[in-house]
Chains A and B, each alone.
Chain A
Amino acid sequence: MTTRISGRLTAAAVLSAVLGTAGASAAYADSTITVATVNNGDMVVMQKLSSVFEKEHPDIHVRWVVLEENVLRQRVTTDIATQAGQFDVMTIGNYEVPIWAKQGWLVPMDNLPAAYDVADLLKPVAEGLTYEGKLYALPFYAESAMTYYRTDLFKKAGITMAEAPTYAQIREYADKITDKPNQIYGMCLRGKPGWGENMAYVTTLVDAEGGQWFDMAWKPTINTPAWKTAITYYADILKADGPPGVSSNGFNETLALFASGHCGMWIDSTVAAGLLYDKKQSQVSDKVGFAPIPTGSFTGGPTWLWSWNLGIPASSKQKDAARTFVTWATSKEYVALVAKENGWVAVPPGTRQSTYDNPEYKAVAPFAGFVQRAIGSANSKGQTKEPRPYTGGQFVAIPEFQGIGTQVGQTIAGVLTGQSTVDQALKTAQYSTARVMNQAGYPKK
C-alpha cells in the first residue's frame, strides 16, 4: 500500500520535473529562477501575474513551487539549512528572516533602486525584516490581528460593540449571541495545534493577560497565573460559545465558518478582512463589523505582526535575476498591476504607505484604516508586562520556537477537548519546553 503510493508520487514528481523544465529554453543569457511560495490567495495571484514579469524581462524565466504553508516551511528550511540551493526566491515569514540573517543564510537587500522607494514600506514591517541595520527580505503582504463581528447578530441581541473591547466584554457578547440549535456560535477561534495556528492567537491572549514565554534567564514561564487566566478564558469561552470541532480549526477552517455565517465573532489575522468583505468569497460580506483586538489586564504589550516576505538564499546561483524578481513582486507597480487586474480590494495589504494613501483603496476597503492602525500598534519588539529576552508578537523569535510552539499547541488543544485540565496542561507544557531549552543549551552565552 505504502509502496504503491510512493511509486505514484515519484512518478508524479518526475512528470512535474519534466513539465517544469520543458518550458525553459536553455539559451546562455537566459536564467531560470525557482520561486517557492505558499498557496495563499495573494501568492497564487502573483504566480498568475508573473507572465507580465517575464514579458518585461525576456531573459528571466520563473519556475514555481507552490505548497501548503507547513510543507513549504519544511522544504525551504531543509533547503537553506543544508545549503542545497534548490530555490532562488523563498517566501518566508518575519519569524525566519532575522534568525536566518543571523546565520548568514540570506542575501542582504541593500542598494535598492530609488524607484523602489524603501521609505514607503510600513515601518513596523520593515523593522521586522532588518538585522544589524540591513533589510534581508522584502515584504509581500503583512497582517496584524483584529476582531470581526456580525453586525446583524449584534443588532438582534440589542448590543453594540465597544470602541476598544475588553476580553470581559467579549465574553458577555459571545454569551448573548450564541444560538447553538441554529448553529450560530458566539465566538470562533483557532484551535488547531501549531506554532503558527492556535499558538499565534494564544500568545497574544497570554500577553494581554500579562504573561510571556520566557523570563530574562530563558526559563519558561508557562506554569504561571497569567497563563492560567488566559488558557482558562480561552477554554471556557470556546466551551460555552464555540463551534464543535474547534480543536481542528485553523485559520482557513475558521474563515470558512465565519464566511458561511456560523460565527458571531472571530479574533484573527487582518488578512481575513479583504476575504470576508469580498462578495464572491463570503456570504456575510454586508454584515461584517470590525473592532481592534481585545485587551486584557495588561495593555500596550506586543500583539500580532506577521508578514510574508520574499528573500534570496545565499546558496542561490541566480542572485541577480532573483533580486530583479523580488523587487518587482514587492513594488508599487505590482500593487497597481493587481488593482488593474483584480480590483483594489484584492491588492496585497499591509506593506506600503502608498497603498493606504490611495483614495481608490480607501473607497473599496473600509477596513483599511483598521488594518494600518493594528500594524502600527503591533509593537512586536516591545516589552511584555515583565521584561523578556526575546522579540516577536505572536511568536518567539528563536529557532527552537517552531518545535516548542507546536508541542505546546498540542497540549493546549488537549484542554479544549477535555483530555487534560488547564493545570495539567500548563505543567506538561512547562516541562516539555524546559527540556527543549536545556537540550538547545540555553541560556546561550
Chain B
Amino acid sequence: MAASAGENVMGGTAAPTVAARRPGSWLVMPSVGVLLIWMIVPLVMTVWFSFRFYNLLDPSVHGFAGLDNYTYLVTDPNFWVSLRNTMVLLVAVLVITVGLGTLLAVLFNQPFPGRNVARVLAISPFFVMPTVSALLWKNLLMHPIYGVFGVVAHTFGLQPVDWFAQYPLASVITIVSWEWLPFALLILLTAVQSLDQEQREAARMDGAGVIAQFFFITLPHLSRAISVVIMIETIFLLTIFAEIFVTTSGGPGNATTNLAFLIYSRALLQFDIGGASAGGVVAIILANIVAIFLVRSVARRLEV
C-alpha cells in the first residue's frame, strides 16, 4: 500500500560518521538493517506499483503502465487542490500553534493561583486520540442542532453556523490546532523557564517595558525551541488524516481533501492501487523536500 508521506524523513540526513569509527557500531548493524528493510521494502513496492496498472476491482486491466499513473495524477484538478489544501492546513496550524503557544507559554510562566492545574488542563488535549477529538468537535461542539455552539447561538437568537459545510477547511484547522497547541506550549514553556532571570532584570532596570522585554529578550531566546516545534509539527501535519476522515471525508466538494486523503480515496474508495501509489511517491518526495530544508535550518540553529 502507499507509503505514508511521513516515512523516510531521515532521507535528508547523512549517516553518523562518528559512530563508524567505533567498534561498537558493528553491533548495531543488525538492528539498523532490520529498520532499513522495514522502510525500503514498502518504499520499493510503492514505487513498483506506481508504474503498473493495478485496480483491485478490475483484474482484466493489468500490466506495465509507464508514466500513465503519474500523468493521470497531475492532470487531475483534485490533485492540485489537495496540494494547496495540504499547504494551507500546514501553514495555518503552524502559525496558530506557534503564535498562541508562545503567548500561552509566557502567560503560564507567570505565577498565579492554580497555575499547576491550569497547566495540566492546557496540555491535556494532546492526550486525546485524533479520531476522538474530531468526533468531540464534530458532534458536541460544532453540530448545528445538538452542538454547544449551535445551542449558544440559539439562546442569543442567532442562526447556528453549520461549520463543516460553510467553513470546512477552517473547521479542520481549528481542530488540528487545538490538538497541537499543547505540544507547542509544552516545549515553549520549558524554554521560557530556562530563560535567565538576571537578563530580564537587567532589561527592566534599563527601562524596557513588558512588550520590549518580550520582543528583545524572550523571543530571541525561544527561537531554537520554535524551530524544533515547527520541524516536528510539519512532519505530522503533512499527513493529517483522521480528523478529515471523521469530520468531512474530504468534502464538501474537495474543500478539505489533502494529499493523504486523496491517496486514501484512490486506494480504498476507488481501489486503484496504481494511482494511489503514484500519489504516495509524490507525497514521499514532497515530504523529503520539506524535511531537507527543515533539518538543515534546525541544524544550523542548534550549532549556534
Selected from A74, A103, A402, A410, the residue in CB contact (under 8 A) with B59 is A103
The 3 closest A-B pairs by CB, nearest first: A414-B253, A403-B270, A399-B57
| Interface of chain B: mostly helix, strand, loop or mixed | loop
Question: Given the known A-B contacts A435-B76, A439-B72, are A2 and B253 also in contact in the complex, defined by CB atoms under 8 Å?
Answer: no
Whether B271 contacts A81 by the Cβ 8 Å rule is: yes
Taking a contact as CB atoms under 8 Å apart, the answer to whether A406 and B265 are in contact is yes
Distance (whole angstroms) from the CB of B40 to the closest CB of chain A? 19
User: Per a CB cutoff under 8 Å, which of B58, B150, B252, B268 touches A419?
Assistant: B252
A211 CB-CB contact with B under 8 Å: no
Contact residues on B (Cβ < 8 Å of other chain), bracket: 35 or more
- Residue B248 is within 8 A (CB to CB) of chain A in the complex: yes
Q: Are B57 and A183 in contact (CB under 8 A)?
A: no
Q: Are A81 and B6 in contact (CB under 8 A)?
A: no
**One of B16-24, B162-170, B283-291 at the interface:** B162-170
A413 and B253 contact, CB distance less than 8 A:
yes
State whether B144 touches A419 (Cβ < 8 A): no
Q: Is B251 an interface residue (CB 8 A)?
A: yes
Which B residues are CB-close (under 8 A) to A190? none
**Tally of chain A residues near chain B (CB < 8 A):** 46
Chain A residues with CB under 8 A of B242: 5
**Is A403 a contact partner of B271 (Cβ separation < 8 A)?**
yes
Determine whether B211 belongs to the interface, using a CB cutoff of 8 Å to chain A: no
Pick from B150, B166, B239: contact of A2, CB under 8 Å: B239
Select one of B150, B236, B251 contacting A193, CB under 8 A.
B251
Report B182 CB to chain A, min CB distance, Å: 11
State in angstroms the CA–CA spacing of A139 and B253 once bound together.
34
With A1-B236, A5-B129, A74-B268 known as contacts, the answer to whether A413 contacts B252 (CB < 8 A) is: yes
Q: Please give, as numbers and ranges, the residues of chain A lying within 8 Å of B270 by CB-CB distance.
A: 400, 402-403, 406, 436
Chain A: which residue is nearest B56 at the CB level?
A: A81
Q: Contact: A440 with B271, CB < 8 Å?
A: no
Pairs across A and B, CB under 8 Å, 13 listed:
A77-B56, A78-B56, A81-B59, A245-B164, A262-B145, A400-B57, A402-B271, A406-B265, A411-B253, A414-B254, A414-B255, A419-B253, A435-B72
**Residues A410 and B251 in contact in the complex (CB < 8 Å), given A77-B56, A244-B160, A244-B162:** yes
User: Would A410 and B164 be within 8 Å (CB), given that A245-B143, A441-B61 are in contact?
Assistant: no
Contacts of A103 in B (CB 8 A): 59
User: How far apart are B7's CB and chain A's nearest CB, in angstroms?
Assistant: 11
